Every structure is written in C-alpha cells, then in structure tokens.
Amino acid sequence: MFGVVPKSIWQNINPADANNMCSWAMRCLLIEDGNRLILIDNGIGNKQSEKFFGFYYLHGSDTLDQSLNNLGFTRDDITDVVLTHLHFDHCGGSIEWNSDRTKYKTAFKNATYWSNEEHWQHALNSNPREKASFLTENIVPIQESGQLKFVKNPKEIAPFINLRTVYGHTEAMMLPEINYKGQTIVFCADLIPSVGHLPVNYVMAYDIKPLDSMVAKKTFLDDALANNYILFFEHDNINECCTVHKNERGQFAVKDMFDLKLIG
C-alpha cells in the first residue's frame, strides 16, 4: 500500500499485524438529491469464493445493505452508481448471484451504472499488472444488463458533481468532486486512499504508473489547498475526512480531521 516507502516509516501511521497486513476500509459515499440516490463505489461484494475472500481477511460487521438500511433505504432505491474505477474492491458489489447461483445480475436493479469508456476498455483489455484486480464477473454483466452509461462530460451525472479524471493508479480513474453548501467534498478513491497517503511520494505498489500518480496527486493537492477542499477517504479505516495545509517542511499534511456527518 505504500510502494517503496520503507515499513519502518509507514508502520507508525498504519501498524501491520503478524501477517504484515494492515486494516483498511471500503467506505462508499451516498448522495441524496431530491428523488435521486447516488452511490459512489460499492465495495468488494459477496459473490466471490471463500478462497478468494480468505486472501484479504475481511473483518468487521459493516455491510452496504446494513448501512443503507440504517438510513431507511435499500439497494432498490439507488438510482445511480458511480464507479471510480473497476478494481474489485471498488465495484465488486455491483453484481451478485441470482437466487440459485447460476447467473449474475445487477445488485442495483433500478440504477444507472456510470463509468467512462477509456477506463472501461482498459479494464477489459488489461495489462498483466492489473489483471487480477479486473474481474470479468464484476464488469461484463453490467454492460450486458443495459444499465451501463459512459460519462461524456464531467458534470453529466449532476450539476453539483464534477468528475476529475486522474491517471497513474490506473487509466482514467474518476474522482467525484461534490459541491455541498458551498464546500467541495472530494471522493479521493485510490489517488489518496488514506491520511497516510497525503505525502506526494507515498504511492501504492498497485499503481501502474507511480510517477503519473505523483503528478496527479500534487496537482490535486495544490487545488485542495487553494480551495479548501474536504478530502473523503475510501480506504482509511479510522479517518473519514480532512482538509489540508502545508507543514513547516512544506509538505502536504492534515489541517483538520473530522467525520462527514459534522459538515453543516
């Protein structure tokens, strides 16, 4: 998760267990706008084999269905699913088995699924580095369902959502920038998966083009600093949101840390 940064440095931020593994979240974001309910990413899902899940030591009691139910919703209420990218931990919940586990079906039957054509084609024709992250059963059934739509312009989904396209982690990942009560909340996906990834050179070994990731991150953090963006973290298992500043060494760092529900 921290690429070439030595464990002796990053373990102070994200301590590893005896298996050299760290705890991470798969935090999604739900946006209610009138009669629309927009879900950004949907986690790893539950259709993979026990062996597959065994690699990742899933733990905790939170589920997407439970989180939706706590807000008075179900999956059938979702009108739009925005997929930042198609790695399995971000889109695995898009598709599920039917009742007798013979066919796949969309988990959000009333929703439009949003991706972009550049990233979609990249996922279908993947490189050896990413192939294990792009699972056919997470991707092809969406298109076969007729519910897939490719974004043609950055504000197509809603006028208050701007989609920033970034490169490096994968090709053409989308970061939703949500305007809410005069503030901009940015769903950081895997450009900045956690607070521990704020330093520009802390990029993941998963990134196919780490130098491009660093350029994209620096450009984004310059904008975040200038415009006081709120960063929303998908994989940080403790911290939900922060704003940034530059510390005494001129590096990007946390200014204020808080939960999303505290935003007015």
C-alpha distance from residue 115 to each of 147, 162, 230 (Å): 11, 14, 23
Q: 7-262, superfamily in CATH?
A: Ribonuclease Z/Hydroxyacylglutathione hydrolase-like (3.60.15.10)
Q: Mean pLDDT of all residues in the chain? A: 96
3-class DSSP state of 252? strand
What is the DSSP secondary structure assignment for residue 237, as one 8-state letter? S
pLDDT tens across 122-180, in order? Answer: 999 999 989 999 999 999 999 999 999 999 999 999 999 999 999 999 999 999 999 99
Contact (Cβ atoms closer than 8 angstroms) between residue 62 and residue 73: no
What is the predicted pLDDT for the residue at 16? 92
Q: Where are the domains of the chain?
A: 7-262
Of 185, 136, 135, 160, residue with least CA distance to 80: 160
Q: Is the pLDDT of residue 61 over 90?
A: no
* Percent of the chain that is helix, strand, coil (3-state, to 5): 25, 25, 50
Q: Is the pLDDT of residue 1 over 80?
A: yes
**pTM of the predicted protein model:** 0.96
* Angle value at C-alpha 164, between 198 and 252, nearest 5 degrees: 20
pLDDT tens across 181-229, in order? Answer: 999 999 999 999 999 999 999 999 999 999 999 999 999 999 999 999 9
> Hey, CA dihedral for 2, 218, 154, 235, is it positive or negative?
positive
